[in-house]
Amino acid sequence: MNVLFIDWPCFDREETKEALANMGHQVFTFFHEDYNSLYSESFDSEIKQSIEKNNIELVFSYNYYPLIALACKDESIYYMSFLYDNPYAYIYSYTLMFQTNIVFLFDSSLVEYFQKGGLKNVFYMNLPGAPDKIEKLLKEDYGKSRYLADVSFVGALYNEAHNFYDRIDWSKNPYAKGFVQGLMDAQKKVSGYNFIEECLTPKVLEQLQSLFPLEKDKNSIETDGFRFADYVINRKLTSRERMDYLSGIGQRFGKDYSIKLFTLDENVEFPGVSNMGIATYETEMPRVFYHSKINLNISLRSIKTGIPLRCMDIMAAHGFLLSNYQSDFFIDFVPGEDFAYYENEEDLYEKIEYFLTHEKERMEIAENGFQKVLHFFTVEDVLKRMFEVGLSKPLGGETC
């Protein structure tokens, strides 16, 4: 099959192109600066030229782009996309209905949502890891001291000054402020089920819109509830959760253990925690995961059930993973065997203490997680399953 790979700066670009070639496909690449736009005559013209010139039968991209969907519908060829961002506004584009689309999501709850709405071209797939690439990286010469840690967390704190929640003037509506803060306090105590959006009643949404209008694109079907839940409240809740947990870990373990944070904000401070600044995805993150005794995952709350990419990267790097509860883990991984999870804040501290003092068990779990990724969840493994699932249906008409 002639496959056109959208060559934007996504994760595992080279591994994906190599895997597609290993699967027997002829791989062509395409890039246009407007790939992330909603309207571009130049993009539409150039991608169609590439499709026709190279007799392309399928276009593949990480994340979903309406411009590509429109072009593939016009050319009557498949468009296969695999989302690793969440939340992701374009997934609510009306173009998702095109039967030329084959869309994979790593969050099974979101797949269920779309399939209940009649979209049968949306499927669940776990994100891949790249253990071979990481193994080569770890064999290179590099200073290890920056990456050595007893406990580490790599990720954003979502505390940037321009975040939506902090741009709202809550003083104009104390009721809305109290409601949202109470909702976040309640959700923080619950793992495994996110009830933020369903608790945003029409009255509350009306008040939130008056405080901070969030306009959607005219071609999007996303709701006000989705936008305020995922872009405002869940993001702020994740920020609070990550900072609260890191503060607590620093206070409890910082005197006796090395606790490291790798994040965009180099100025944030937690007593007992060393802020190491950003860790680059391609080179530094795998080294952090490999050299940390415990790698934390504190999921973005808008990821309802899915396994974040961070988790697959940790296991692919021989790292021990301690994650919050995400139900999709239980589809392919075994808790206590491939990874460990915590149920709440106090359980997190107890699990950290336990696994810091039970090295043999911790190392066995890390090795099991690595072996499972190595044998079942490499880029090529996952792509093969995607093609088997996605291409099992005939190319259809305009909509589902």
pLDDT tens figures, 324-378: 999 999 999 999 999 999 999 999 999 999 999 999 999 999 999 999 999 999 9
Q: How many domains does the chain have?
A: 2
Does 178 lie in the same domain as 39?
no
Does 138 lie in the same domain as 25?
no
Contact 99, 398 (CB under 8 A): yes
Give first-to-last CA distance, the chain, whole Å.
24
Mean pLDDT of 280-295: 97
**Alpha-carbon span 95 to 88, nearest angstrom:** 14
SS3 78: strand
- Residue 398 forms part of a structural domain: no
Does 268 lie in the same domain as 156?
yes
- Residue 59 forms part of a structural domain: yes
**What global pTM score does this model have?**
0.95
Does 25 lie in the same domain as 145?
no
Mean pLDDT of 67-73: 98
- Residue 292 forms part of a structural domain: yes
Mean pLDDT of 46-66: 98
- Average pLDDT, rounded, for the chain: 95
Does 385 lie in the same domain as 340?
no
Percent of the chain with pLDDT over 90: 94
Domain of 231? 131-377
* 277 HSE (CA, 13 A, CB side): 3
pLDDT tens readout for residues 130-151: 999 999 999 999 999 999 999 9
- Residue 155 forms part of a structural domain: yes
User: What is the model's pLDDT at position 286?
Assistant: 98
**Alpha-carbon span 115 to 123, nearest angstrom:** 8
- Picking from 373, 350, 359, 360, the residue whose alpha carbon sits closest to that of residue 286 is 373
Does 188 lie in the same domain as 285?
yes
User: What is the model's pLDDT at position 397?
Assistant: 43
Mean pLDDT of 255-273: 97
Which of 97-111, 255-269, 384-398 is least confident? 384-398
SS3 371: helix
**Alpha-carbon span 101 to 68, nearest angstrom:** 10
Does 169 lie in the same domain as 117?
no
pLDDT tens readout for residues 183-209: 999 999 999 999 999 999 999 999 999
- Residue 342 forms part of a structural domain: yes
Q: How confident is the model at residue 128 (pLDDT cuts 50, 70, 90)?
A: very high
- Picking from 250, 234, 268, 260, the residue whose alpha carbon sits closest to that of residue 159 is 268
Mean pLDDT of 374-384: 98
Does 27 lie in the same domain as 39?
yes
- Picking from 88, 122, 24, the residue whose alpha carbon sits closest to that of residue 386 is 122
- Residue 400 forms part of a structural domain: no
User: What is the model's pLDDT at position 220?
Assistant: 83
User: What is the model's pLDDT at position 216?
Assistant: 76
On the question of pLDDT at 80 being above 80, the answer is: yes
Helices H, strands E: what count in the chain?
A: 17, 12
User: What is the model's pLDDT at position 395?
Assistant: 64
- Residue 85 forms part of a structural domain: yes
Percent of the chain with pLDDT over 70: 98
- Residue 396 forms part of a structural domain: no
- The size of the chain, in residues, is 400
Does 180 lie in the same domain as 59?
no
Does 98 lie in the same domain as 228?
no
Does 180 lie in the same domain as 240?
yes
Mean pLDDT of 168-188: 97
Compute, in degrees rounded to 10, the torsion defined by CA atoms 193, 213, 179, 202: -70
Question: Looking at residue 189, which CATH number applies to its domain?
Answer: 3.40.50.2000
Contact 338, 365 (CB under 8 A): yes
Does 170 lie in the same domain as 233?
yes
Q: Exposure pattern of 233-269 as b/e (b: 16+ CB <10 Å)?
A: bbbbbbbbbbbebbbbbbebbbeebbbbbbbeeeeee
On the question of pLDDT at 232 being above 80, the answer is: yes
